[in-house]
Amino acid sequence: MLSRKKVEVLFSVGIVCFLVWAIWEARQWPAPSKLFPWSLGFTVLTLALVHLALGLRAALKESSVGNLAGNTSEDALGTGSTGRSDSESLLLSPEIARQRTIVICCWIVAFFIGISLLGFKLGSLFLTFGFLKFTAKERWTISAAIAVANYLFFWIVFDIALRTPLGSGLLGDYFGIN
């Protein structure tokens, strides 16, 4: 498990990589086009490297203290993934918290894929029902009612009131369903 400090170091490494890429990409552009990206890129890269160095030092310090005192898993990614100390998520065990984080992240991705494939109307129907019934463990009636309400919302607002249908998604277009 990664501590908050180590995640921050990884995040800083990501930012440094992004900035290096931005500077590298600009190398063959004509001078006026690369002037702004380079002057900006090098400045921010310097700041990001300073921050990375500070973060690395803190992470090394933490791991040396951790080796002495025994590593605690309280600060591991998953114990309140949004980092809120006042949230009830801190009452959850790290394992449960990590599982819940993974579950909701999977649903966030699933909604993206589902809407892309089925469009908003059908997507809202199936995804809402799936989330409420199988993940939130709500009753059939509540799950079905909210799913239908979401479907009707998109149909009434966009198809009828605004007359700007939101598209049927890739599968919807392929099979001609909406």
Instruction: Please identify, using beta-carbon distances, which residue of 60 and 162 lies nearer to other proteins.
Output: 162
* The pair of three-digit structure tokens given for residue 75, joined into one six-digit string: 């600060």
What span, in angstroms and rounded, lies between the C-alpha atoms of 32 and 37?
A: 10
Closest contact distance (angstroms) between CB of 174 and other proteins is 14
Whether the Cβ atoms of residue 41 and residue 19 lie closer than 8 Å to each other: yes
Integer CA distances (angstroms), 56 to 64, 69, 72, 75, in order: 12, 20, 19, 17
Closest contact distance (angstroms) between CB of 3 and other proteins is 11
Instruction: Please identify, using beta-carbon distances, which residue of 73 and 116 lies nearer to other proteins.
Output: 116
Closest contact distance (angstroms) between CB of 67 and other proteins is 22
Q: Which residues bind other proteins (CB under 8 A)?
A: 4, 7-8, 11, 15, 18-19, 22, 25-26, 29-30, 32-33, 36-37, 40-41, 43-44, 47-48, 50-51, 54, 77, 80-84, 86-89, 92, 97, 100-101, 103-105, 107-109, 111-112, 115-116, 120, 123-124, 127-128, 131-132, 136, 138, 142, 146-147, 150, 154, 157, 161-162, 164, 166-167
Closest contact distance (angstroms) between CB of 144 and other proteins is 12
Instruction: Please identify, using beta-carbon distances, which residue of 68 and 108 lies nearer to other proteins.
Output: 108
What span, in angstroms and rounded, lies between the C-alpha atoms of 60 and 169?
A: 48
